[in-house]
């Protein structure tokens, strides 16, 4: 396993999730009417929107991560999922009162679902992609 690549992509996924949360939070005072009739009705709906947007972007990052990996891509995807979750828990524990409050099992389940979907999509892309055109060797 290429641990450097895993750490870089885990940081990318972590930063992506934080950027989506920041942007949706910053835009919320101007876009709350898209989520509900009143500000109070719209507030609970922003979290599912954030999770869906983050999952779609994370799927694209996972696909870029898995593209060059030919051996054990599922293991790589799950390790990336665990490392990204560890970064998220560490960040949330830094601002929370306890690590128990920082760990949300739904986040881990969401990361695993995205990792499995990316692995499946990557496997399907490999299986149904046109074969690479090989160049003839020297002396041909």
**C-alpha distances in angstroms, 104 versus 22, 75, 85, 133?**
19, 22, 10, 47
* Overall average pLDDT of the 96-110 stretch: 76
In angstroms, the CA 108 to CA 62 distance is 15
- Domain boundaries defined on the chain: 3-20+46-128
pLDDT at 127 over 60: yes
* Overall average pLDDT of the 70-93 stretch: 90
* Overall average pLDDT of the 22-46 stretch: 80
* Overall average pLDDT of the 29-53 stretch: 80
pLDDT number for residue 140: 47
- For residue 118, the tally of other CB atoms under 10 A from its CB is 24
Give me the chain's average pLDDT, please: 84
* Confidence (pTM): 0.79
């Amino acid at each position: 396993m290429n641990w450097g690549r895993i750490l870089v992509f885990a940081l990318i996924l972590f930063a992506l999730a934080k950027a989506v949360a920041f942007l949706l939070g910053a835009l919320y005072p101007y876009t709350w009417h898209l989520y509900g009739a009143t500000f109070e009705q719209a507030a609970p709906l922003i979290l599912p929107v954030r999770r869906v947007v983050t999952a779609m972007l994370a799927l694209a990052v996972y696909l870029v991560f898995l593209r060059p990996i030919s051996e054990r891509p599922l293991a790589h995807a799950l390790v990336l999922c665990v490392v990204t979750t560890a970064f998220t828990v560490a960040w949330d524990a830094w601002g929370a009162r306890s690590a128990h409050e920082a760990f949300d099992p739904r986040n881990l389940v969401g990361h695993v679902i995205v990792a499995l979907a990316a692995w499946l999509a990557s496997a399907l892309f490999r299986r149904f992609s046109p074969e690479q055109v090989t160049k003839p060797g020297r002396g041909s």
